[in-house]
Structure 1
Amino acid sequence: MSSDYSARHLSVLEGLEAVRKRPGMYIGSTDARGLMHCLWEIIDNSVDEALAGHGSEIEVILHDDGSVEVRDRGRGVPVDVEPKTGLSGVEVVYTKLHAGGKFGSGSYAASGGLHGVGASVVNALSERLDVEVDRGGKTWAMSFHRGEPGRFADPAGTEPSPSAPFAPFEEASELRVVGKVAKGVTGTRVRYWADSQIFTKGAAFQLDELIGRARQTAFLVPGLGITVLDRRGEEPEEHRFRYDGGISEFVEHLATDGPVTDVWRLTGDGRFTETVPVLSEGGAMVPTEVERHCHVDIALRWGTGYDTVFRSFVNIIATPKGGTHQAGFEQGLLKFIRAQVEQNARRLKVGTDKVEKDDALAGLTAVLTVRLAEPQFEGQTKEVLGTPAVRSIVASVVTKSLGERFASTKRDDKAQTALVLDKVVAEMKARISARTHKETQRRKNALETSSLPAKLADCRSTDVAQSELFIVEGDSALGTAKLARDSEHQALLPIRGKILNVQKASVADMLGNAECAAIIQTIGAGSGRTFDITQARYGKVIIMSDADVDGAHIRTLLLTLFFRYMRPMIEEGRVFAAVPPLHRVIVQNPGSKPNDVIYTYSEAELAGVLADVKRRGRKYQDPIQRYKGLGEMDADQLATTTMDRSHRTLRRVNVADAEQAGRVFELLMGNEVAPRKEFIVESANGLSRDRIDA
């Protein structure tokens, strides 16, 4: 890389060279996650302009050559000369670390960019980066190759490419004028090609993640329109987002259960002072006390479920690992709810037990946003807020706003606040009852024999990591599986056909269902909120159903049970689906040599195997055996294909996006029939008849 650098730019690129040597320090990783982080850095610059009141449209384009382009109608990157460096504003922003307009200069009251490294880091990690700025009636342009400014010699009439010949500037950089714009038109367009020397092979922009982030940002900045255009496929795919309701609409979008309350908005402000180093006229860093303003905006609602959905943001930057603002929210909410429960203790029939955080958060969907100048984050990835004073400000806003809501004399407010207290107390009582039941059960199991289901064929090993539980379909498959299993490590639990659809059923119905109760009892870690994965008796749970439509339905019903009531098992990758074969091909050998047996798992694989056998001039026994169920296999066949660890194939069940999975389960298995019918009708045309096992 250094051989491409001219001597004039050694000082400019010194910092960027460090970025290329240690990219993980700035973007977290060099896989698809780091690639997406670079894109967020560029998008967030445009969003910061919109937050400051400049421009209400952002467009993100994924080009078919692997590049990405971000366009906005903000003020445009400054094009005048920066006096300290003698470089144009564009070159400073894209080549200097810790340079920008977000260091308390007054250009931004609150922004996501804090460290002044975002644009320059993306530039350093790009094989080519082109910037166009509309400002002062002209369109200015500049190009960079791995952080160094210069000029690409793109052939006439062709699209720009990172492989075009590049010539770095030798004497002085040139910010060239490439066009004119109408007076008052401003904006910035950035297009870059990620460097294949830095990012891992196969790293690509994730459209679903980009759409989710774009939708999230549109919720957080009311009135901002964000368009995502994907030109990588045969047909361009466009998604546009704009929400005028802000985070109230965000909460309605996130909530998946029925409502207990309407969406409540809690807003407030606070001021605090902090000591920060400020550069004096003499060039020294002087500790100076500055006053900060913090604006808090929260939208929340309680629902009928028990899962908590919480999103927190600082200047529209997501903080998935929380920080002082989230701690302040939880502190203020718990303190207030405890005080309300104590005031209404007689009506709620509570004793001396205390409400805990999980009780108050059960069924809560909330979005918390705070805006302040120069927040302190832990690292460039900005996942945790560290500004200490924000905690008390958020707690104060929550307590004050909820106090006004609970003191309201409006009929709706009184009814909803009463329902919230009832729900919290019910969760507290359920938690205490579950704990008491668990302690009683543990004492009972220590004194008496284990109360495991009678049909369970358990394994001898007590090593959880090595043990496996096979949930098999029917008694006929159980008989064969008993002979095929490794009884030291493999346990078997038969179920009778299709179990209860727990997405529709209540908790009481689920626990009352013999098959569901047997599965929960066998795994031994509880269910729902009381599920404790450390108590699970098996390292793997393997669903072994027939390779037909009914088997797929049974597998879906079982996964619904695990997803809703034992989700940590899926999240930790401990739930699998067995892959039994569909066909058994016996290839005949001449003489007394034993025949070869080949198992295939799809019609396409069978066709390929038969064609290969014919090509080699071999014969196979006809008709070919087609397995309609596990019960048709003998023990040796089942062991070889499905249960023997050295030969079998398992599919791990993952939940990459729990929210999306929850919505799909609700759509396909829930109470609402109309959306399911609409989905089936719309998807019918896209289903190939060859995929139907009929």
Structure 2
Amino acid sequence: MTALTAAVDEPEDYSARHLSVLEGLEAVRKRPGMYIGSTDSRGLTHCMWEIIDNSVDEALGGFCTRIDVVLHGDGSVEVRDNGRGIPVDAEPRSGLPGVELVMTKLHAGGKFGSGSYNASGGLHGVGASVVNALSGRLDVEIDRQGRTHAMSFRRGIPGGFDGAGPDAPFTAGSGVEEVRRVAKKVTGTRIRFWPDRQIFLKDADIARESLLDRARQTAFLIPGLSIAVRDERFPEEGTYEEEFRFDGGIGEFCTYLAPDEAVNDVLRIQGSGQFTETVPVLDDQGHMTPTDVDRRLEVDIALRWGTGYETTARSFVNVIATPKGGTHMTGFERALVRVVNDQLRASKLLKDKDDPVTKEDVLEGLTAVVNVRLPEPQFEGQTKEILGTSAASRIVSQVVGKDLRAFLASTRRGEKQQARAVLDKVVNAAKARIAARQQRETQRRKNALESSALPAKLVDCRSEGLDRSELFIVEGDSALGTAKLARDSEFQALLPIRGKILNVQKSSVSDMLKNSECAAILQVIGAGSGRTFDLDAARYGRVILMADADVDGAHIRCLLLTLFYRYMRPMLEAGRVYAAVPPLHRIELTNVRKKRGAKPEDRYIYTYTDSELQRRLLELEKKQMTWKEPVQRYKGLGEMDADQLAETTMDPRHRTLRRIRVEHAEEAAKVFDLLMGNEVAPRREFISQGAQELDVSRIDT
């Protein structure tokens, strides 16, 4: 405590001698995270890509067609290209060879408006020098003018090594050495570096998959460029090699990224724009003078909408990924929302009273690759994750707005259909968002009001256990009255529905929720719907569909199963949905009382199909049994009394249930879409073919 007080009371102890100035690469080694983000695997991978990006810039300029990346077994990384090669002649102001200048001086390079690169990713001029500063050893070889030039560095200091690896004896010294002759047409650069383990964590390593993903991505962005990856780090597994080359560009990249089926073909949007930027320019006297410079920004975008819900958007500036977006993505998204809303209004898909669709609606199911190229882009930080050039927003918005409007308003036959499909998808996404919000509000009200949210027409059971509890969805109020008397109120609940519910296969989520019968079923089951459905929250162990044994009853069961399939599929997958099997006929025997030991209920025999009825009558006739004519045929559940309904359909000891299963989801989806979807022609063809096999005598008229 005393020492601390003395230090505070004597400010003269803090003087100019306590200040320090970090010169050159010393600052990089002192604060590496400022330049590469971290000193773990992520930072090491960033160093590798700083070197690779220099080769990529050569490819962007049209000087390089191949890049090789080798991960050596000793932990070093080597990058080779067939570009022009780093200059080796002396730089006039410093007198240093060009390769030594870019490897040892921060903010030195050919990407500061000197005309060497029209567009590049390494605009800060610190990439190679930062990697050099953080390497225990870095070797560079350059093929230029018929000779191979070589130079080595240790932690940013030029010199020579007497042996292999970073631990070999080192002698400091400047200069480039000519090591051999090559053909004059042969040019390129080879850089191999060993990460300095004084800087990087011991377990820092380069993940092969991340390298392959970005190599593939870069090959997509530069058509015709070959990028080969070779991994020699695991000799027990053998050498891993893979090469990427894509001539289709970002259009092919967009198709590769898409996770779903396409709604429209890949739309390619290309254009450019001019802007003026004030930048400091080095004059002949070595002074930095603010100067207005005309810039050109080129826009290249590929996009398509799919049937899914996820958004996959990748953005790039001069082939450098900008995972956090920036001004180019802001302009892209702004143009999408503006143009889509305008076209929806023009095509009357959105009424004047309707709210405009949002960005989330437009981006749903979208896969897009946004790539812009411009000289000296302004990034936020050395990691280049966000583009900050303000003019990019305006230019990208203009280019996208023009081409997208032309596509959505196209009158060409193919494009018109695809444009309408895109607009319909956006409108449906907006409706689903609104319906989901309404459903959340309904759910909140339900949580607040508890049981008051349950429909009044629900006849609940006393038991809350899932093992025995059953919910009967009953067709009609007449059947409900009989079912109330026939049920076991301890574990059997009843929910009546009026006739045929909404066909949800060709209706939106919003329409489904507005339908009182569908909403009642969802509320009674109590487990949500769609992607939010929670099987564990279901209030009943079984759901049993109880409809008449006729054509209308079959139709009602189909509609109910469509609702379960689309919005409560886990119930089907768990085998918790059943169909009751009510009888179609009742045979009343007239001479059964004469038999010894006969019970009153033995007077009746129930059959469930016409063929079963005929078979049983023949059996009875052979046994010389007589029955009351005519045989009773049930037109509906309401014709049974409570004892008959309980005995045949509801009593677990005597009833028959059909469990509804979804064994093959894709085939089931096709059948549901065929029978209940919007496409009329395939359904008409199905009915026409089935009509030839129909037994007309079985139609209930």
Structure-1-length-normalised TM-score: 0.63
Counterpart amino acid of 1:325?
H
CA contact (8 A) 1:248 1:299 kept: yes
Structure 2 residue aligned with 1:188:
189
| 2: CA distance, partners of 1:221 / 1:87 | 33
Residue in structure 2 matching 1:161, options 159, 165, 188:
165
> Equivalent residues in 2 for 1:447-462 (5 A)?
447-449=449-451
Segments ≥4 residues shifted beyond 3 Å: 347-351, 449-458, 669-672
CA contact (8 A) 2:428 2:508 kept: no
Structure 2 residue aligned with 1:124:
133
Report the CA distance shift for 1:455/1:356 in structure 2 as closer, same or farther (over 3 A).
farther
Q: Deviation digits for residues 330-351 of structure 1, max 9, x if unmatched?
A: 0001000000011112x56684
> Equivalent residues in 2 for 1:434-453 (5 A)?
434-449=436-451
SS at match of 2:314: strand
| 2: CA distance, partners of 1:258 / 1:521 | 32
CA contact (8 A) 2:445 2:453 kept: no
Q: Deviation digits for residues 362-389 of structure 1, max 9, x if unmatched?
A: 1000000000000100000000000011
Structure 2 residue aligned with 1:43:
52
Cα offset, 1:86, TM superposition: 1.1
| 1: CA distance, partners of 2:46 / 2:408 | 42
Structure 1 residue aligned with 2:279:
276
Structure 1 residue aligned with 2:385:
383
Q: Deviation digits for residues 88-112 of structure 1, max 9, x if unmatched?
A: 0110010000000000000000000
CA contact (8 A) 2:343 2:409 kept: no
CA contact (8 A) 1:348 1:422 kept: no
SS at match of 2:112: coil
Structure 2 residue aligned with 1:151:
160
Q: Deviation digits for residues 641-675 of structure 1, max 9, x if unmatched?
A: xxxxxxxxxxxxxxxxxxxxxxxxxxxx9959xxx
CA contact (8 A) 2:343 2:405 kept: no
Counterpart amino acid of 1:419?
A
CA contact (8 A) 1:79 1:88 kept: yes
| 2: CA distance, partners of 1:241 / 1:184 | 25
Structure 1 residue aligned with 2:249:
246
Cα offset, 1:201, TM superposition: 1.5
| 2: CA distance, partners of 1:273 / 1:449 | 66
CA contact (8 A) 2:151 2:175 kept: yes
| 2: CA distance, partners of 1:527 / 1:130 | 58
| 2: CA distance, partners of 1:87 / 1:293 | 33
Cα offset, 1:456, TM superposition: 14
Q: Deviation digits for residues 137-196 of structure 1, max 9, x if unmatched?
A: 000000001110111001xxxxx2111111112xxx121111111012100000000010
Counterpart amino acid of 2:96?
L
| 2: CA distance, partners of 1:344 / 1:98 | 54
CA contact (8 A) 2:101 2:108 kept: yes
CA contact (8 A) 2:309 2:364 kept: yes
Structure 1 residue aligned with 2:300:
297
Q: Deviation digits for residues 302-332 of structure 1, max 9, x if unmatched?
A: 0000110000000000000000000000000
Structure 1 residue aligned with 2:266:
263
Select the structure of larger CA radius of gyration.
2
Q: Deviation digits for residues 619-660 of structure 1, max 9, x if unmatched?
A: xxxxxxxxxxxxxxxxxxxxxxxxxxxxxxxxxxxxxxxxxx
Cα offset, 1:457, TM superposition: 11
Cα offset, 1:404, TM superposition: 1.9
> Equivalent residues in 2 for 1:208-357 (5 A)?
208-234=209-235, 235-345=238-348, 347=349, 351-357=353-359
Cα offset, 1:405, TM superposition: 1.6
CA contact (8 A) 1:13 1:148 kept: no
SS at match of 1:400: helix
Report the CA distance shift for 1:276/1:670 in structure 2 as closer, same or farther (over 3 A).
farther
SS at match of 1:113: coil
Which sits farther off after the overlay, 433-442 or 362-371? 433-442
Counterpart amino acid of 1:267?
Q
SS at match of 1:329: helix
Cα offset, 1:279, TM superposition: 1.9
| 2: CA distance, partners of 1:141 / 1:427 | 60
SS at match of 1:81: coil
Q: Deviation digits for residues 407-442 of structure 1, max 9, x if unmatched?
A: 333211000000011000011111111111211221
CA contact (8 A) 2:136 2:155 kept: yes
CA contact (8 A) 1:219 1:246 kept: yes
> Equivalent residues in 2 for 1:371-520 (5 A)?
371-449=373-451
Counterpart amino acid of 1:339?
D
Cα offset, 1:507, TM superposition: 11
CA contact (8 A) 1:13 1:95 kept: no
Cα offset, 1:447, TM superposition: 1.9
Counterpart amino acid of 2:391?
A
| 1: CA distance, partners of 2:418 / 2:379 | 37
SS at match of 1:269: strand
Structure 1 residue aligned with 2:176:
175
SS at match of 2:410: coil
| 1: CA distance, partners of 2:301 / 2:194 | 38
Counterpart amino acid of 1:354?
P
Structure 2 residue aligned with 1:359:
361
| 2: CA distance, partners of 1:421 / 1:41 | 42
| 1: CA distance, partners of 2:343 / 2:508 | 28
CA contact (8 A) 1:312 1:318 kept: yes
Cα offset, 1:66, TM superposition: 0.5
> Equivalent residues in 2 for 1:661-680 (5 A)?
none
SS at match of 2:298: strand
- Compute the RMSD of aligned alpha carbons: 3.4
CA contact (8 A) 2:73 2:232 kept: yes
| 1: CA distance, partners of 2:213 / 2:129 | 25
| 2: CA distance, partners of 1:439 / 1:262 | 38
CA contact (8 A) 1:296 1:394 kept: yes
Q: Deviation digits for residues 60-104 of structure 1, max 9, x if unmatched?
A: 000011001000000000000011111101100100000000000
Structure 1 residue aligned with 2:146:
137
| 1: CA distance, partners of 2:297 / 2:393 | 11
Q: Deviation digits for residues 545-569 of structure 1, max 9, x if unmatched?
A: xxxxxxxxxxxxxxxx9xx99xxxx
Report the CA distance shift for 1:410/1:125 in structure 2 as closer, same or farther (over 3 A).
same
| 1: CA distance, partners of 2:463 / 2:48 | 52
| 2: CA distance, partners of 1:101 / 1:295 | 21
Count residues with an aligned counterpart: 469
Cα offset, 1:281, TM superposition: 2.5
Which sits farther off after the overlay, 31-40 or 434-443? 434-443
| 2: CA distance, partners of 1:455 / 1:48 | 74
> Equivalent residues in 2 for 1:644-683 (5 A)?
none
Residue 73 (structure 2) pairs with residue 64 (structure 1):
yes
Counterpart amino acid of 1:306?
Y
> Equivalent residues in 2 for 1:528-607 (5 A)?
528=531
Report the CA distance shift for 1:456/1:33 in structure 2 as closer, same or farther (over 3 A).
farther
SS at match of 1:370: strand
CA contact (8 A) 2:310 2:365 kept: yes
SS at match of 2:418: helix
Report the CA distance shift for 1:457/1:388 in structure 2 as closer, same or farther (over 3 A).
farther
| 1: CA distance, partners of 2:462 / 2:250 | 51
